Chain A
Amino acid sequence: MTVVSTAVLELEGIDVFYGRVQALRGVSLHVDQGEIVTLIGANGAGKTTTLRAISGLTPAAAGRVLLRGEEITRVPAETIVARGVGHAPEGRRIFSRMTVLENLDLGAFIRKDGARRQDMDRVFTLFPRLKERQRQVAGTLSGGEQQMLAIGRALMSRPKVLLLDEPSLGLAPILVETIFQVIREVNAEGTTVLLIEQNALKALSVAHRGYVLETGRIVKEGTARQLLDSPDVQKAYLGV
């Protein structure tokens, strides 16, 4: 299959190392315009590393990362966001000693246009809870609120592609619902999403397509339906 030209994000055979430990081996995937694509896999499979390779925090040693056809493999992380990639990283990584407002402002750090206020309102519409807590120091937010903040902060850059690393981890079921609802909404408004989840069932229910990562390799790909129906996936990730 040739990779379609509508791919917003494309990984071509990337290898990533942490020192001498190889975390990714020839990972190839693509995310097309307007899609939600999910990457599922067990602990340590390399999901986080894949996102870090895209946003430049852990650059790939081999292979290529393409964003709308332009190579960004070794572009420094701090310039990636300006190219339209928003990354809500694993563990939320909010600025815990700053207020909610300051965190959101930092999300728009690279933007010089005057639409910040507007984007903040949009984030507050998606997460009314954040609006109530806007002056609160982020470290004192609950886990769920922190996750909302991490996603909201990533949205403040008006990303074309949103990378989400386990946004539902540790959240109560009702909050998981909220987060997934927001992912759908953001996607419906035109943002392409690459979603990592431990909760494969949930992820496949919202995603269009998915990839399965095992010890640094892509072992399976398909539409969400195909993966949900696959006996291997059911056995390994859906607990069927």
Chain B
Amino acid sequence: MKFFVDQLVLGLTNGAIYALIALGYTLVYGIIELINFAHGDVFTVGGIIGLTLIGIFRLEHLSPALLVPAVILLFAATMTITGFLGVAIERLAYRPLRNAPRLAPLITAVGVSFVLEGILFMVKGANQISYPNLLPSGKIGGGAFEIGITNLIIIIIALVLMVGLHQFIQRTRIGRAMRATAQDRDAARLMGIDINRTIAITFFIGSALAAAGGIIFGFYYQSIVFDQGFEAGLFAFTAAVFGGIGNVIGASLGGFVIGLILTFVAGYWSGGLQWASVVVFSILILTLVFRPTGLLGMRVAER
């Protein structure tokens, strides 16, 4: 029982990270139908930016009383900086190809991924870098239901960001503009919506969420490496497809499902970890074959 609960908590923790990355895939795909292959690397860059800020402001040595505001500021600053990186990528690499055949931006995205990994490699090298966990590390609960506080906080942070994003998209003017742009770009322009600005905002939000995932990943695994975004990105992309690409709730759900599946496979099957990619890609293929619209894909037919 204890083992099961541990796996469940770990799965949800991993799932929170995948979900935060998956949201960026789904938002960007929803609005410009681009699979942003560079997104996994934006996640890594976010983690590194967070690490750099922790270093600059010596957050590791902060008195516990200041820790809560410090961590909140760390997330805010890292998400903002990474958000602007996403905006820059869109502006420089994707916008010029907006009206090109679909393959062109797709290949460009793969190129951007290589560029980001190359830069990370040059700056940080090929080794694992250690990452401090600023979150409290004790346990709460008891018996089989003893849960790591770090896990709990991570899951809560992810849920807060997801709910916040959902509310933002459903309730705000900008969110409405994002949905309109995703559905019909010309019609959105006729409503007075600035498409370029809306797409830029979408990249900002997606990248900021990935950055939050990057910090969380660093906190939890206490290490970071330049090419971790490749695998994490593919897993998160699968989560987005599984949940129904373009669908925000679907991506959140998909992230948790993928996290749970991976964790249980690794936990209950010795050597299962090596099969992680096989499992995830099987899910991807099965989804694409049997339910290409994903779990919560668009159900309203276009007339």
A93 in complex: contacting residue of B177, B187, B301, CB < 8 Å: B187
Segment at the B interface, from A20-28, A33-41, A97-105 = A97-105
Q: Are A93 and B184 in contact (CB under 8 A)?
A: yes
Q: Does A87 lie at the interface of the complex (its beta carbon under 8 Å from any beta carbon of B)?
A: yes
Q: Does A6 lie at the interface of the complex (its beta carbon under 8 Å from any beta carbon of B)?
A: no
Q: Are A139 and B191 in contact (CB under 8 A)?
A: no
Q: Does A66 lie at the interface of the complex (its beta carbon under 8 Å from any beta carbon of B)?
A: no
- Looking across the interface, which residue of chain B has its beta carbon closest to that of A82? B192
CB distance from A58 to the nearest CB of B (A): 9
Instruction: Report how far A157 CA is from B189 CA in the complex, Å.
Output: 13
Q: Does A14 lie at the interface of the complex (its beta carbon under 8 Å from any beta carbon of B)?
A: no
User: What residues of A have a CB within 8 angstroms of the CB of B191 in the complex?
Assistant: 81, 106-107, 109-110, 153, 157
Q: Are A98 and B187 in contact (CB under 8 A)?
A: no
Q: Does B2 lie at the interface of the complex (its beta carbon under 8 Å from any beta carbon of A)?
A: no
Q: Which of B258-303 contact A (CB under 8 A)?
A: 298, 300-303
Q: Which of A57, A89, A97, A107 has the most CB of B within 10 A?
A: A97
User: What residues of B have a CB within 8 angstroms of the CB of A13 in the complex?
Assistant: none
CB distance from B64 to the nearest CB of A (A): 46
CB distance from A152 to the nearest CB of B (A): 13
- Interface code B184-218, partner A: CB below 8 Å = 1, 0 otherwise? 10111111111100000000000000000000000
Q: A95-B179, A139-B301, A143-B303 are in contact. Are A89 and B195 (CB under 8 A)?
A: no
Q: Does A125 lie at the interface of the complex (its beta carbon under 8 Å from any beta carbon of B)?
A: no
A95 in complex: contacting residue of B180, B189, B192, B194, CB < 8 Å: B180
Q: Are A109 and B192 in contact (CB under 8 A)?
A: yes
Instruction: Report how far A94 CA is from B303 CA in the complex, Å.
Output: 10
User: What residues of B have a CB within 8 angstroms of the CB of A106 in the complex?
Assistant: 176, 180, 188, 191, 193
User: What residues of B have a CB within 8 angstroms of the CB of A102 in the complex?
Assistant: 176
User: What residues of B have a CB within 8 angstroms of the CB of A110 in the complex?
Assistant: 191-192
User: What residues of B have a CB within 8 angstroms of the CB of A157 in the complex?
Assistant: 191-192
Q: A96-B302, A105-B176, A140-B300 are in contact. Are A79 and B183 (CB under 8 A)?
A: no
Q: Are B187 and A94 in contact (CB under 8 A)?
A: yes
B177 in complex: contacting residue of A87, A97, A109, A139, CB < 8 Å: A109
Q: Does B173 lie at the interface of the complex (its beta carbon under 8 Å from any beta carbon of A)?
A: yes
Q: A106-B191, A109-B191 are in contact. Are A95 and B300 (CB under 8 A)?
A: no
Instruction: Report how far A77 CA is from B184 CA in the complex, Å.
Output: 14
Q: Are B192 and A98 in contact (CB under 8 A)?
A: no
Instruction: Report how far A80 CA is from B194 CA in the complex, Å.
Output: 11
- Looking across the interface, which residue of chain B has its beta carbon closest to that of A93? B187
Q: Which of A47-80 contact B (CB under 8 A)?
A: 55-57, 76-80
Q: Are B190 and A87 in contact (CB under 8 A)?
A: yes
Q: A106-B180, A109-B173 are in contact. Are A96 and B300 (CB under 8 A)?
A: yes
User: What residues of A have a CB within 8 angstroms of the CB of B183 in the complex?
Assistant: 95-98
Q: A96-B303, A97-B298, A140-B300 are in contact. Are A89 and B187 (CB under 8 A)?
A: yes
User: What residues of B have a CB within 8 angstroms of the CB of A105 in the complex?
Assistant: 176
Instruction: Report how far A120 CA is from B192 CA in the complex, Å.
Output: 18
Instruction: Report how far A79 CA is from B196 CA in the complex, Å.
Output: 13
CB distance from A207 to the nearest CB of B (A): 23
Q: Does A146 lie at the interface of the complex (its beta carbon under 8 Å from any beta carbon of B)?
A: yes
CB distance from A107 to the nearest CB of B (A): 6
- Looking across the interface, which residue of chain B has its beta carbon closest to that of A105? B176
User: What residues of B have a CB within 8 angstroms of the CB of A143 in the complex?
Assistant: 303
CB distance from A149 to the nearest CB of B (A): 12
- Looking across the interface, which residue of chain B has its beta carbon closest to that of A150? B187
Instruction: Report how far A205 CA is from B177 CA in the complex, Å.
Output: 38
* Contact sample, A vs B, 12 pairs, CB 8 Å cutoff: A76-B189, A77-B190, A78-B192, A81-B191, A95-B183, A98-B183, A106-B188, A106-B193, A107-B191, A109-B193, A153-B191, A154-B190
Given A96-B303, A109-B180, A157-B191, 4 extra CB contacts under 8 A: A77-B186, A96-B300, A96-B302, A110-B192
Q: What residues make up the interface of A, taking CB atoms closer than 8 Å to B?
A: 55-57, 76-82, 87, 89, 93-98, 102, 105-107, 109-110, 137, 139-140, 143, 146, 153-154, 157
The 6 closest A-B pairs by CB, nearest first: A110-B192, A93-B187, A77-B189, A139-B300, A81-B192, A109-B191
